[in-house]
C-alpha cells in the first residue's frame, strides 16, 4: 500500500484521533492529530501485528537544517585556490556536523599563523586539494567566512603528494610523501 504525501504547517489539523494515530512531527489535541512542524504529511499504514490498527499520520521536515558556521566554530574545509594574499576554501563540516549548503571560506595571509605574519607565503602554507582545520573569525563579506589557522592545532590535516600518496606531517611546517620521500611546505595542524 503506497503512502500519500501532503504539505502541512504547524497547528494544522490533520485528522481525527478516532481515525488516525499521531506519529513523528505531530501531536494529539482536542480529539485531533495536529502538525507540529512544516513539512510533508504522510499516512503510513500500521504493521499487521500492531495492537493499534489506525493508520499513522506523521510530518517530516521538508528540509533538515544543516550545520552553519559561526564565529569561534572550528571547521573542516578543502582548499580550492591559493592566491598570493589568501586561500579560498569550501567549508565541509562545522565541528563534527557536515554542512548541507555550500559555504566559502577565506584564509587571509595575516590569519595563517600567529607569529612572523609578514613572512607568510600562501603557496608554502596550502595547496589546492588540502583539507584544513580552521577557526571561523567572522562572517567576512557576503561571499565568504574569514577563517584562521593561527593556533597550533589548526592548519593542514590531510594533503596528497604529487605521487598520489597521503602525506605525513614531519614538522609544523613540512609534510613528506611516504612514496618519494619528497618534502613539501605546509602550515601543518598539530595532532591533538
Q: What is the pLDDT of residues 93-112, one digit of tens each?
A: 998 888 888 899 999 999 99
Report the Cα–Cα distance between both ends of the chain, in Å, rounded.
Answer: 52
Identify each DSSP E strand in 13-142 by its residue range.
13-16, 21-22, 26-29, 32-35, 39-44, 56-61, 74-82, 86-94, 97-108, 131-138
- DSSP, collapsed to helix, strand or coil, labels residue 182 as coil
Sign of the CA dihedral 158, 143, 83, 148?
Answer: negative
- DSSP, collapsed to helix, strand or coil, labels residue 125 as helix
* Structural domains of the chain, with CATH: 5-61 (2.40.50.100), 74-185 (2.40.50.140)
**Pairing relationship of beta strands 5-8 and 39-44 according to DSSP bridges:** antiparallel
Convert the pLDDT of each residue in 174-187 to its tens digit: 999 999 999 999 99
The per-residue pLDDT for 1 is: 44
Lowest mean pLDDT among 3-12, 35-44, 106-115, 124-133: 3-12
Contact residues for 51 (Cβ-Cβ < 8 A; gap 6+)? none
Report in angstroms the alpha-carbon separations of 171 from 78, 91, 165, 176: 21, 25, 18, 9
Nearest-angstrom CA–CA distance, 141 and 54: 53
- DSSP, collapsed to helix, strand or coil, labels residue 188 as strand
Amino acid at each position: 500500500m503506497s503512502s500519500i504525501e501532503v504539505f502541512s504547517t504547524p497547528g494544522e489539523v490533520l485528522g481525527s484521533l478516532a481515525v488516525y494515530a499521531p506519529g513523528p512531527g505531530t501531536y494529539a489535541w482536542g480529539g485531533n492529530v495536529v502538525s507540529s512542524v512544516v513539512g510533508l504529511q504522510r499516512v503510513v499504514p500500521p504493521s499487521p501485528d500492531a495492537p493499534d490498527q489506525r493508520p499513522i499520520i506523521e510530518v517530516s521536515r521538508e528540509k533538515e537544517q544543516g550545520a552553519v558556521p559561526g564565529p569561534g566554530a572550528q571547521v573542516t574545509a578543502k582548499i580550492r585556490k591559493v592566491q598570493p594574499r589568501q586561500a579560498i576554501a569550501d567549508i565541509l563540516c562545522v565541528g563534527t556536523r557536515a554542512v548541507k549548503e555550500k559555504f566559502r571560506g577565506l584564509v587571509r595571509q595575516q590569519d595563517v599563523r600567529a607569529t612572523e605574519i609578514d613572512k607568510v607565503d600562501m603557496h608554502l602554507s596550502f595547496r589546492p586539494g588540502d583539507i584544513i582545520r580552521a577557526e571561523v573569525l567572522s562572517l567576512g563579506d557576503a561571499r565568504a567566512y574569514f577563517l584562521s589557522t593561527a593556533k597550533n592545532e589548526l592548519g593542514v590535516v590531510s594533503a596528497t603528494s604529487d605521487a598520489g600518496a597521503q602525506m605525513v606531517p614531519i614538522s609544523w611546517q613540512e609534510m613528506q610523501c611516504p612514496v618519494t620521500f619528497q618534502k613539501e611546505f605546509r602550515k601543518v595542524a598539530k595532532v591533538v
